[in-house]
Amino acid sequence: SQLLSPLRLRLLDVLISAHTHSARAEMWRQLAAAEAAQYNVTVGAVAWLRACGIARSADGPASLQAAVDAMVAAVTSSECASPAAAEERVLSDDIPLPVDHVYASASDHSISPLVVLYAPVGSMLFARAHAVLAEHARRGELTYVYRPLSVMAAGAPRQTLQGYGVQLAIKNMEYKAMDDQAIAELGAAEDTDSDAELGADGEEEEELNGFFIQAIGSRRPELVEALATFADVLASAEAEQDSSELKVWAIQDLGLQAAERVLKATEPLKALRDICQNFPFVARSLSKKPAVRELEEEVSYRQQALWGPHYSGAFLNGRQLPVVHENDLVGLLTTIQRELRSVDALTQLGLSSPVISSLVSLPAAPA
């Protein structure tokens, strides 16, 4: 995409998956539908404008250009200004909403006539109308407000968003007389199957990675030797992956060893995720690597001088993330967006990735 950087594209995928903008998108849809009904906008219009209590719709580029020219001429030639009194502004439709995208001159635009454009974001119709209206707004002739318009294609299914489901479970409390002889026979059959899971000495066989080797061998005697080999393979694999047998001295530096692996990884975030999700399986391999004493001294210094012992926190470029003591997904994504703005601004200056990483990691200026 030419509009978003690769990092912003990846973040956009996360935002869409989390539906963080669904409420705002629905707000724009309802607002457009309400004003379209209020100003009698033509049904099926792909874009439309309103100002001074009138609306002009368009069904294509030519009609939209004509509507823009007519609307600009109307608001610049007539006495069509936003109300100046505070009590009138509260109830007026000719002032921008707090959530609007407002384009106006640097001077006071409270009395400039308001022109609202409804058009699909990113469309050619929006680009043409936006260029004209933004230029008039820059000259102080009007106050231009853009509101996204959701146009559903013909026959397109409605998008279902994730939400909460409600299930009504009704329990039948009626007692019925039943013959329990069939149930007793079924229980006897289950006992017969469970006996196959007992060892030769009558004790319950221990499960090995989901398999009851002796039970399978009793049912398939011709596979006893193959099953024994298979059991040895499972046992050896389980011994290599199991971290419960690690000695105390082998796990005392696991935190430092895990941190070192993350720091040296080509993709640190991916390495951190893999270690967190598979820690019992990687603990043994981590314990075999010596801990870096310089890293231990740095961690000890930060715990004693900056954060205090047993401190837990997550930071992005020095900014604390709301993921440790609270599960704030929106706050996390907002922080990431704020940091990406800084990264994009530095990227436009032609700086390399190592330089950008060093700059965004600088500590905040003292207050």
pLDDT tens string 186-238: 555 444 444 444 454 444 555 566 677 888 888 888 887 778 777 767 666 65
Q: Tell which of 268, 289, 310 closes a domain.
A: 310
Co-location of 111 and 100 in the same domain: yes
Please enumerate, as own/partner, the contacts of 123-127 that have beta carbons within 8 Å and a separation of 24 or more: 123/46, 123/47, 124/61, 125/46, 125/47, 125/58, 125/60, 125/61, 125/64, 126/47
- The secondary element (H helix, E strand) that includes residue 92 is none
> Phi then psi for 135, rounded to 5 degrees?
-70, -45
Co-location of 22 and 123 in the same domain: yes
Tokens of 194: 């469970």
Co-location of 284 and 322 in the same domain: no
Co-location of 20 and 129 in the same domain: yes
Each residue's pLDDT tens digit, 73-125: 888 776 676 666 666 666 667 788 888 888 887 665 566 788 899 998 888 88
Q: 39 to each of 29, 43, 60, 151, 186, how far by Cα in Å?
A: 15, 11, 19, 18, 73
Q: Tell which of 310, 333, 348 closes a domain.
A: 310
Residue 55 has pLDDT above 50, yes or no: yes
Co-location of 40 and 67 in the same domain: yes
- Residue 283's nearest CA partner among 315, 253, 312 is 253
Domain that holds residue 222: 182-228
Region of 40 please: left (phi>0), alpha (psi -120 to 50) or beta: left
Co-location of 140 and 29 in the same domain: yes
Task: Select the highest-mean-pLDDT range: 34-38, 182-186, 319-323.
Answer: 34-38
pLDDT at 124: 87
pLDDT at 118: 92
- Give mean pLDDT, residues 137-150: 88
- Give mean pLDDT, residues 127-151: 88
> Longest C-alpha distance within the chain, in Å?
102
Residue 1 lies in a domain: no
Domain count, the chain: 4
Co-location of 224 and 293 in the same domain: no
Each residue's pLDDT tens digit, 296-354: 888 888 777 777 777 777 888 777 787 777 777 788 888 888 888 888 888 888 888 88
Co-location of 201 and 333 in the same domain: no
Q: d(Cα 207, Cα 231) in Å, to the nearest integer?
A: 11
Each residue's pLDDT tens digit, 242-265: 555 666 666 778 888 888 888 888
Co-location of 215 and 134 in the same domain: no
Residue 129 burial by Cβ neighbours in a 10 Å radius (0-12, 13-18, 19+)? buried
DSSP strand pairing (54-58 vs 315-316): unpaired
- Residue 111's nearest CA partner among 136, 80, 139 is 80
Residue 330 lies in a domain: yes
pTM for the model stands at: 0.53
Residue 177 has pLDDT above 70, yes or no: no
- pLDDT over 70 for what percent of the chain? 72
pLDDT at 107: 60
- Give mean pLDDT, residues 50-78: 84
Residue 173 lies in a domain: no
Co-location of 317 and 356 in the same domain: yes
- Residue 292's nearest CA partner among 250, 259, 245 is 259
Residue 161 lies in a domain: no
Residue 163 lies in a domain: no
Co-location of 54 and 131 in the same domain: yes
- The secondary element (H helix, E strand) that includes residue 315 is strand 315-316
